[in-house]
Copies of this chain bind each other. A is one copy, B any other.
Amino acid sequence: MIPAEAVARLRLARTDGIGPVTFRRLLGQHGSAAAALAALPRQAARRGAPLTLCPEGDALREMDALRRLGGQFIFAGEPPYPPLLDLQEDAPPVLAVLGDPAALAGRAVALVGARNASAAGRRIAEELAEQLAAAGLVVVSGLARGIDAAAHLGALRRGRTVAAVAGGLDQPYPPDHAGLQARIAAEGGAVVAEAPLGTAPLARHFPRRNRIVASLSLGVVVIEAAPRSGSLITARLALEAGRELFAVPGSPLDPRCRGSNDLIRQGAHLTESAADVLEHLPEAPRAIRLFEPPLAWSGAEPPAEFVVESHEPAGDATQVIDLLGTAPTAVDEVVRRCHLSPSAVQAILLDLELAGRVEMLPGNRVALTGQA
């Protein structure tokens, strides 16, 4: 990729309101990020919609900072971007990577579980990760305390491991895992981040981190997960992405095992050792099934009295908004129900996304964000 296009891709990805799905559509429409950047202001101005592109200087500064950190950007659709992640329609357009991006190309399995894991759970994670690494698999996890850290450490003994983090690469989290992050990068593995450098890892970033963990892997193994825990969300994301699901059983007396036992009850492979994983790990993900609504995007319930108050778009846009809800709706359905052309609807939806009013979702669907 020519450097100018790399800068343009980073600028487009860092522009507020351009989500991964819209990024892919713009790249398809315009042929390059540079062309999309050139076209967007005209388009926004024509509709009177707000738009602030990420300044070129900001992108260049971030590239420079990442280089000084020893990292590099990789771009969806271009090697060495991880091929399994690239299958996801909402894959990050740009990933910041520390370490060896080649680690992202290996057959991978994710190990996730409780941050407050028991000593036994940590030991299981460490041994399982070591066995899986010894069998040639890359072990993916989220650099968190507990199961995540144990999995990374076990894999480091016999092979490569990949960590996906929620914040920027210069903000290791938890802070005392900075050394672990550095070891992963130094010992043949990789650490990847969707968020820009300088981003503090906030609660809202973790669903995206979990989705990357699941998407990098052919299967996800859950070890100790309480009901409604983040690990169960990763499990659900893995199923949605056609990944194989594994769970380690545990005593009914330990609440940390309820969620993982539940997964087994629902069909996850009962896993006691690497053999159980190797037996069921496929060569490729299954065809992707979309749930309504996908868990990653199902935010809070819409407020009881959801009233559009400010920046009210007039006419056609209002007509489109009236057809939407916070639950995902198919764009085709919107086109059928309003009396506008498909391209007019797409243009309105782009404006609304740039304004933060809607979110474009995989499967050509769209949902209100709840912001007026």
Cβ distance A11 to chain B, nearest Cβ, rounded Å: 49
Does chain B have a CB within 8 A of A261? yes
How far does the Cβ of A174 sit from chain B's closest Cβ, in whole Å? 26
Give the shortest distance, in Å, between A125 (CB) and chain B (any CB): 11
Task: For the complex, give the distance between the alpha carbons of A270 and B269 in Å.
Answer: 12
| Size bracket, chain A contacts | 10 to 19
**In the complex this chain forms, how many copies of it are found?**
2
Cβ-defined partner of A124 (8 Å) among B253, B265, B270, B272: B253
Name the segment of A20-28, A243-251, A285-293, A357-365 touching the other chain: A243-251
Q: Are A249 and B257 in contact (CB under 8 A)?
A: yes
Q: A232-288: which have CB < 8 Å to B?
A: 248-253, 257-258, 261, 264-265, 269-273
Q: Mark A105-139, 1 if CB is under 8 A from B, else 0.
A: 00000000000000010011000000000000000
Q: Considering the chains assembled together, what is the distance between the CA atoms of A120 and B252 in angstroms?
A: 9
Are A272 and B258 neighbours in the complex by a CB distance under 8 Å?
yes
Determine how close the nearest CB of chain B comes to the CB of A277; give it in whole angstroms: 12
Give the chain B neighbours of A248 by CB distance below 8 A: 252
Q: How far is the CB of A320 from chain B (nearest CB, A)?
A: 46
User: Which residues of chain B have C-beta atoms less than 8 A from A249's C-beta?
Assistant: 249-252, 257, 261, 264, 270
0 or 1 for each of A160-187: is its CB under 8 Å from B? (1 = yes): 0000000000000000000000000000
**In the bound complex, how far is the Cα of B124 from the Cα of A261, in angstroms?**
15
Report the Cα distance A264→B265, complex, angstroms: 9
Contact A120 B251, CB 8 Å, known A258-B272, A272-B258: yes
Complexed CA–CA distance, A264 and B249 (Å):
10
Residues of B within 8 A of A252 (CB): 124, 248-249, 271-273
List residues of chain B with CB within 8 A of the CB of A271: 252
Chain B proximity of A7: nearest CB distance (Å): 50
Decide if B250 touches A251 in the complex (CB within 8 Å).
yes
Q: How far is the CB of A296 from chain B (nearest CB, A)?
A: 27
A258 to B124, CA, bound (A): 14
**5 closest A-B pairs by CB:** A249-B249, A252-B272, A265-B270, A249-B261, A120-B253
21 A/B residue pairs, CB under 8 Å, sorted by A: A120-B251, A120-B253, A124-B251, A249-B249, A249-B250, A249-B251, A249-B257, A249-B261, A249-B264, A249-B270, A250-B250, A250-B251, A252-B271, A252-B272, A252-B273, A258-B272, A261-B270, A261-B272, A264-B264, A264-B270, A265-B270
Known A-B contacts: A124-B252, A249-B251, A265-B270. Give 6 more (CB < 8 A).
Answer: A120-B251, A249-B249, A249-B250, A250-B250, A250-B251, A261-B272
